[in-house]
Amino acid sequence: MTADRTGHRASAAPAYDVVVAGGGPAGAAAALALGRAGRTVLLADAATGPPPVGEALPAAARVLLHDLDAQDVLDGRHHLPCYANLSAWGSDDLAAQDSILDPHGHGWHLDRGRFDRELRERARLLGTDVAERTTARPAGRSGDGTWTVELRGPRERRTVRCRWLVDATGRRASLATAAGARRVVHDRLVALCLTLPPSTTPAPDASTLVEAAPDGWWYTALLPAGHRLLARYTDADLPGPRTGGTGLRTDVARTRQTSARVSAHPWPAVAVRRAPAHTVRLDVVHGDGWVAAGDAAAAFDPLSSQGILTALYTGMRAGQAVHDHLGGDRTALTHYATELDTITAAHLRNRRTFYGLEYRWPRHAFWRRRHTAGPADRADGRPNTRPDPIPPTGVPA
């Protein structure tokens, strides 16, 4: 019987090929990819922090969910179809992107809690051990590279062993940063979110709406149960983030398009939730015995509306890369990191293009910062030279 570096008797604990820390879309996708490849997996869902609010999922997610054999997690009974994205950007007038032009069909406004749970259940059906409300903390490694991982939940504490770790813990990237990775932050964007009760009158439609404002932008969309999500995005050091519910209500009344949709809903007597929404990337996304996926690897400006889509894709690719690496392919993780470099560079190009389309308030700090962004906006540090003309849509972080 061998002991790891912390003195734990490692071989007395059950062994897995991979422990995935984080039960959101990225962690579930990694577990699904690994389970489909025949790997033994434990998925630890800490379920800490506030519950996720409703979010939008673009139609292209159908392809990824099909690849993960999880396409049936989307249905019209629990997730609300989204047939158009509307934006008042560069003008007070609305522009529309209609789903009829999308080869993948319509998107969805998700019941996010149900979506995450059903993805984890698909992983469980493939043989993944799912530990709910449980944190996974590496406690050390044995001489053969095997990790000892402490699992802590409300009803149990136990120790397991694994060959590899997947960090899908979100923006905090707790496993990766503990291993020495650094977070590279590109801006100071924050979200102020409020969920409004259902309207007493029929809603006009289930489209998303993004509206630019002098010190940031607004997002609103219906949720599956008839509630409405309202979010204001601005920089953390600007006055907006310091306002509470009263300030948010006063500010949204100054908008043209957003206020018209919000006015049909009662205003709740609850606190406004503040959440990080900045663009951030790890300087390295894999190391000795670990790999990061989802927001732990790279979290993007929610204006791109690619948050959950990117989480699903990077989770799937991280799982595939770990499987290939454990099978002897020493280039698999390098290829995964290169893919993330490419995705990040494309996002930063597109982000600069999106914000460049709004030019009504060039002297306001929020817009001036985005119109004068420097070469750090590229993952490779080189100046932007070829913007990708994709119009803004928008989804909360």
The residue extents of the domains of the chain are: 10-83+110-186+278-343
Nearest to 397 by CA among 24, 91, 96, 22: 24
Calpha distance 194→250 (Å, rounded): 14
Q: What is the pTM assigned to this prediction?
A: 0.89
Hey, how many other C-beta atoms are within 10 angstroms of the C-beta on 24?
Answer: 27
In order of 29, 166, 221, 312, 355, the CA distances from 113 in angstroms are: 15, 21, 17, 15, 31
Q: What does the block give as tokens for 324? A: 């290939």
Q: Answer yes or no: CATH 3.50.50.60 is held by domain 10-83+110-186+278-343.
A: yes
- What are the pLDDT digits (tens) for 301-327? 999 888 999 999 999 999 999 999 999
pLDDT for residue 242 is more than 80:
no
HSE (CB half, 13 Å, CA atoms) of 213? 24
CA-to-CA distance for 328 and 270, rounded, in angstroms? 53
Give the angle 40-43-45 at the CA atoms, nearest 5°: 175
Give the pairing type, strands 41-45 and 129-132: parallel
**160-213 confidence digits (pLDDT tens):** 999 999 999 999 999 999 999 999 999 999 999 999 999 887 766 778 999 999
